[in-house]
């Protein structure tokens, strides 16, 4: 039952898979005010001495879309310049409210693209994919279907974007050194454990001294894509949170109550950072400091682990997503990528940025790094 990194979404999403993979996307609140003046990033076409130059405003994380990429892209396309902004949700909302949205925007495909599409803010890119000689639909991994939306089901219909990177986000990392110190056998790399089993292990792995937790046995990533984990727990039991038309949620079902109870039991066990044991350090630093035995961050976190010294990476392993029920579900909960707004005045130029960023040198660099760059996907 080893989790596959190639086919988590080999079939179109039905409503249940939509719920698991979408992570309950919430519509952004659009605000205006004096902050809008700080945007000042309209994507216009300006005349130069020898021709016309189009400026494409790109809003992406600085740790993913490097300035050197903007420079290289301009060399490849002298008629297009990139105005690079670091991704900021508040600023993005304000820019939309001001009618000055960027032309190329970072997003979490599984969680967010549907809320942009359903509001008519995302451009249907199906025709661009059909005509592209670079990004051919037949060559795309099925996970890219999280960027499709037919108005009812995620995974069907038009394409509104593409994933830059993705992973099975409920897979867990473990620290063999801490397991050995606690005398607990390391998990199997292929056989999923149940949520009850990992909680029991977390209790044995937690180390306390003078009333303080020195080592957390299980960081369940409370508050971090937690809603997606919750939906996956329900789906693994064969249940669903929403009714058939997705208008009502029922938290009183046996499946939902079991998932909620697990989180309560986990928090009350005091084995990981939670509202009962807040820790401002965060899982990134705690895990690499040998202070977390199991971390529910998913395969994508390997980008961060790969930057650590060999003295650390030599005792780190990856285990399958835990299971709550008989239905095997190990979902992609993010699938970070990009989309183009419907009101962009530079769609053709923005598409060229899409082709370059996904299949040009940035894509080559990501492939050589064997995964997402640190902090890139979430």
CA distance 180 to 103: 51
The closest alpha carbon to 295, from 340, 229, 249, 212, belongs to 229
Residues 345 and 261 in one domain: no
Structure tokens at 243: 């009714």
Closest CA to 322 of 176, 232, 192: 192
- The whole-number pLDDT of residue 51 equals 67
Both 116 and 190 in one domain: the answer is no
Confidence label for 183 from pLDDT (cuts 50, 70 and 90): very high
Average pLDDT over residues 196-216: 95
What per-residue confidence (pLDDT) applies to 134?
94
Asked whether residue 50 carries a pLDDT value surpassing 80, the answer given is: no
Query: Which residues sit opposite 308 in a β-bridge?
Result: none
Which has more pLDDT, 166 or 69? 69
Per the structure, the complete domain to which residue 351 belongs is given by: 22-166+334-368
Residue 186 lies in a domain: yes
Domain total of the chain: 2
Q: Which of 16-30, 212-226, 321-335 is predicted least confidently? A: 16-30
- Cα-based angle 27, 19, 200 (whole degrees, multiple of 5): 115
> DSSP character for 155?
E
**326 domain-assigned:** no
Q: What is the CATH number of the domain that holds 61?
A: 3.40.190.10
Residue 15 has pLDDT above 90, yes or no: no
Tens-digit pLDDT profile for residues 223-272: 777 888 999 999 999 999 988 877 889 999 999 999 999 999 999 999 99
Average pLDDT score over the chain: 85
Q: Are 141 and 4 within 8 A, CB to CB?
A: no
Looking at the structure, tell me whether residues 156 and 174 fall in a common domain. Answer: no
d(CA 300, CA 238): 26
Please state the rounded mean pLDDT for residues 360-366: 92
Is 1 domain-assigned?
Answer: no
What is the tens place of the pLDDT at every residue in 56-114?
999 999 889 999 999 999 999 999 999 999 999 999 999 999 999 999 999 988 889 99
CA atoms of 291 and 213, how far apart (whole Å): 9
pLDDT band at 34 (very low <50, low <70, confident <90, very high): very low
Question: Same domain for 269 and 299?
Answer: yes
Do residues 157 and 257 both lie within one domain?
no
* C-alpha torsion sign, points 117, 230, 273, 221: negative
> Is the residue at 16 inside a domain?
no
Beta strands in 181-304 (DSSP E): 207-209, 212-215, 294-295
Residue 128 lies in a domain: yes
Whether residue 247 is found in the same domain as residue 343: no
């Amino acid at each position: 039952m080893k989790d596959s990194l190639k086919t988590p979404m080999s079939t179109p999403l039905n409503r249940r898979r939509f719920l698991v993979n979408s992570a309950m996307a919430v519509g952004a609140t659009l605000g205006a005010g004096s902050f809008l003046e700080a945007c000042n990033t309209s994507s216009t076409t300006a005349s130069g001495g020898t021709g016309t130059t189009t400026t494409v405003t790109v809003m992406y994380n600085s740790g993913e879309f490097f300035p050197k990429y903007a420079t290289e892209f301009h060399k490849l396309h002298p008629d297009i310049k990139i105005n690079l902004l670091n991704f900021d949700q508040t600023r993005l909302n304000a820019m939309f409210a001001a009618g000055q949205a960027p032309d190329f925007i970072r997003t979490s495909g599984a969680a967010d693209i549907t809320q942009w599409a359903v509001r008519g803010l995302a451009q249907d890119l199906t025709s661009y994919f059909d005509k592209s000689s670079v990004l051919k639909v037949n060559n795309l991994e099925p996970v890219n279907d999280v960027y499709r939306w037919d108005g009812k089901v995620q995974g069907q219909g038009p394409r509104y974007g593409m994933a830059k990177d993705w992973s099975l986000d409920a897979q867990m990392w473990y620290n063999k050194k801490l397991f050995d110190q606690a005398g607990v056998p390391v998990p199997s790399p292929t056989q999923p454990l149940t949520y009850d089993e990992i909680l029991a292990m977390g209790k044995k792995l937690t180390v306390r001294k003078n009333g303080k937790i020195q080592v957390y046995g299980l960081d369940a990533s409370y508050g971090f894509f937690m809603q997606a984990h919750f939906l996956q727990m329900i789906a693994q039991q064969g249940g669903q949170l929403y009714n058939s038309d997705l208008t009502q949620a029922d938290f009183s079902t046996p499946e939902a109550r079991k998932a909620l109870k697990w989180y309560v039991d986990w928090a009350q066990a005091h084995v990981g950072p939670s509202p009962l044991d807040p820790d401002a350090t965060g899982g990134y630093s705690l895990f690499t400091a040998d202070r977390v035995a199991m971390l529910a961050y998913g395969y994508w976190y390997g980008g961060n682990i790969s930057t650590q010294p060999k003295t650390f990476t030599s005792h780190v392993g990856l285990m399958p997503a835990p299971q709550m029920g008989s239905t095997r579900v190990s979902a992609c909960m993010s699938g970070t990528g990009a989309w183009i707004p419907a009101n962009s005045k530079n769609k053709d130029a923005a598409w060229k940025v899409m082709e370059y960023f996904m299949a040009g040198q940035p894509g080559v660099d990501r492939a050589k790094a064997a995964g997402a760059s640190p902090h890139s996907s979430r």
